[in-house]
Amino acid sequence: METFANYINGQLVSKKTDSYLENANPATGEVYSLLPDSSSHELEEAIRAAEKIQPSWEAIGVAGRGDYLNRLADKIESNLDLLAAAESEDTGKPIALAKTLDIPRAASNFRFFAQAVSQFASESHNMDNQAINYTLRDPLGVVGCISPWNLPLYLLTWKIAPALAAGNCVIAKPSELAPKTAYLLSQLCIDIDLPKGVLNILHGRGSQIGRAITQHSKIKAISFTGGTKTGSEIAASAAPQFKKLSLELGGKNPALIFADCNFEKTVEGIIRASFTNQGQVCMCSSRLYVEQPIYQCFKEALIEKAKTLSIGDPLTDVNLGALISKSHQEKVLNYIQLAKQEGGTILCGGQRLAPVGRCEGGFFITPTIIEGLDISARVNQEEIFGPVVTIQPFTSEAEALALANGTEYGLAATIWTENLTRLHRLAKQLTCGIVWANSWMLRDLRTPLGGMKNSGIGREGGWEALRFFTEPKNICIPY
Ligand code: TXE
């Protein structure tokens, strides 16, 4: 059995007591590793180390910090196979996806922010020739980064890279459901001699170590990606201390498909947007709205394509792997049952799958398309976070827009049309943080990423992330 350790003050620290959590491989259902069930004791140690080193981490300047981040990126790239295999083992995702998306993106996160911080500038304002104002942007000190299980290393590094680049020291908590690549990252930090205490990685339960991080008075900001319910708990516990908060939460993302779309390209795009990573990406499309004239043929083409998707052992060449856990599989299956009770028709999929062989005990669900549900149905309102989409026709642009905006979430939307004027018109009116036209998950790391309404507050990416992880101070000097 593999046993992971925390990374505190530059060292791998095993728990002294026997309080460890079990970690399963979702593709087989078997427990294969143990992780520390950390508590406030470990947190205090990590905060002491982070506070001690922070002034010198800030003092080495952007070039010095960028150098460390670039070295981490190099290490991630040279360990691509190891990290991709670990991510697949921990999450059940196809290894090819980990190799082409998760791990390369983790390296890019470090490279991007190493460079971005060297260009990060503050404004100055000439005040009618009376005075000059300029803004200093200092690091916050010690910050907390809490990340989920769906894109483990990708999202962990998306937070720690800008935090470190801006001169902060970090207490990071990866998801207890997918801790392995974070543990491997600590080893890479040791390999590059990252100064002790700059980054600390504490494993364990959200309700214990996660909560302790959000409540600790020495932690000045929390960057969190995860479920909306958890986000609201974090907001409530951080508010009395006026901590800075960036919350990237759930989504119920619409796809608006117009009759003038590029049909083939749209079918391909919607399949990818719906089922990548078993639908466990907060940006995944989950509500498909199709213009009436092409509804029937689009639906048929989509079902046909969904049925060709291969699903099974993530170490083989498959389109879909396993869902993260047994309880998550149950949750998704319950939503499929609920869809039937709410009057929906399952057009394809909707079943638990038990592949023969090694993955017999894994948590698989076939790609599912559901028709006939009203916008008010719970299945159309609540985040399912699995390979499940609903499909419905619309007859006018106004109706499409009302449906798209008709949930409490506001993360991402896609619009599929060749009409540029319509595209601009709709994009402006959608109440969400990101709109993709004729594409999905095309990501430029300079752009703001985040959601409106129950999808969170704040934005990550580019200058937004560097602004979040710094405190602006205005200096006013009369001429
Ligand atoms: O996420 P949690 P869960 C959605 C998705 C999923 C649902 C629940 O719908 O079904 O959330 O998933 C830590 N204080 N998303 O329960 O609990 C936790 O340990 C501090 C959307 O797995 O939000 C983990 O590290 N931290 C999503 C992280 O929060 C706490 C990605 C996320 O876990 C905590 C994942 C607490 N009180 C799930 N409780 C997205 N937006 O991409 C938990 N944590």
Q: Digits of tens for pLDDT over the chain (479 positions)? A: 899 999 999 999 987 667 999 999 999 999 999 999 999 999 999 999 999 999 999 999 999 999 999 999 999 999 999 999 999 999 999 999 999 999 999 999 999 999 999 999 999 999 998 999 999 999 999 999 999 999 999 999 999 999 999 999 999 999 999 999 999 999 999 999 999 999 999 999 999 999 999 999 999 999 999 999 999 999 999 999 999 999 999 999 999 999 999 999 999 999 999 999 999 999 999 999 999 999 999 999 999 999 999 999 999 999 999 999 999 999 999 999 999 999 999 999 999 999 999 999 999 999 999 999 999 999 999 999 999 999 999 999 999 999 999 999 999 999 999 999 999 999 999 999 999 999 999 999 999 999 999 999 999 999 999 999 999 999 999 99
Say how many C-beta atoms besides its own lie within 10 A of residue 82's C-beta: 13
**Whole-number pLDDT of residue 222:** 98
Provide the β-strand partners of residue 34: 3, 22
**Whole-number pLDDT of residue 90:** 98
Pocket around ligand 1: residues whose beta carbon is below 6 Å from it?
Answer: 146-150, 173, 175-176, 206-207, 210-211, 214, 225-227, 230, 233-234, 248-250, 282, 383, 385
Ligand 1 atom nearest residue 173's Cα: 25
Ligand 1 atom nearest residue 383's Cα: 9
* 86's tokens: 């670990």
**Whole-number pLDDT of residue 432:** 98
- Using the mean position of ligand 1's atoms as its centre, give its distance from the Cα of residue 156 in Å: 13
Element (H, E) at 320: none
- Using the mean position of ligand 1's atoms as its centre, give its distance from the Cα of residue 228 in Å: 8
- Using the mean position of ligand 1's atoms as its centre, give its distance from the Cα of residue 50 in Å: 25
What sections of 140-210 are H helices per DSSP?
152-165, 180-191
- Using the mean position of ligand 1's atoms as its centre, give its distance from the Cα of residue 89 in Å: 20
- Using the mean position of ligand 1's atoms as its centre, give its distance from the Cα of residue 398 in Å: 34
Q: Which of 214, 216, 230 to probe ligand 1 with, by most ligand atoms within 8 A of CB? A: 230
Q: Whose CA is nearest to atom 6 of ligand 1?
A: 227
Ligand 1 atom nearest residue 384's Cα: 9
Q: Which of 145, 169, 282, 359 is catalytic?
A: 282
**Whole-number pLDDT of residue 17:** 65
pTM over 0.95: yes
Side by side, the strands of the sheet bearing 124-127 are: 124-127, 131-139, 470-478
What sections of 166-291 are H helices per DSSP?
180-191, 211-215, 228-238, 263-275
Q: Which of 45, 176, 248, 460 is catalytic?
A: 248
- The DSSP result for 401-454, as a single string, is HHHHT-SSEESEEEEE-S-HHHHHHHHHH--SSEEEES-SS---TTS-B--EET
**Whole-number pLDDT of residue 16:** 67
Q: Is 248 a catalytic residue?
A: yes
- Using the mean position of ligand 1's atoms as its centre, give its distance from the Cα of residue 39 in Å: 18
Q: Whose CA is nearest to atom 12 of ligand 1?
A: 227
Q: Is 471 a catalytic residue?
A: no
* 427's tokens: 């994009």
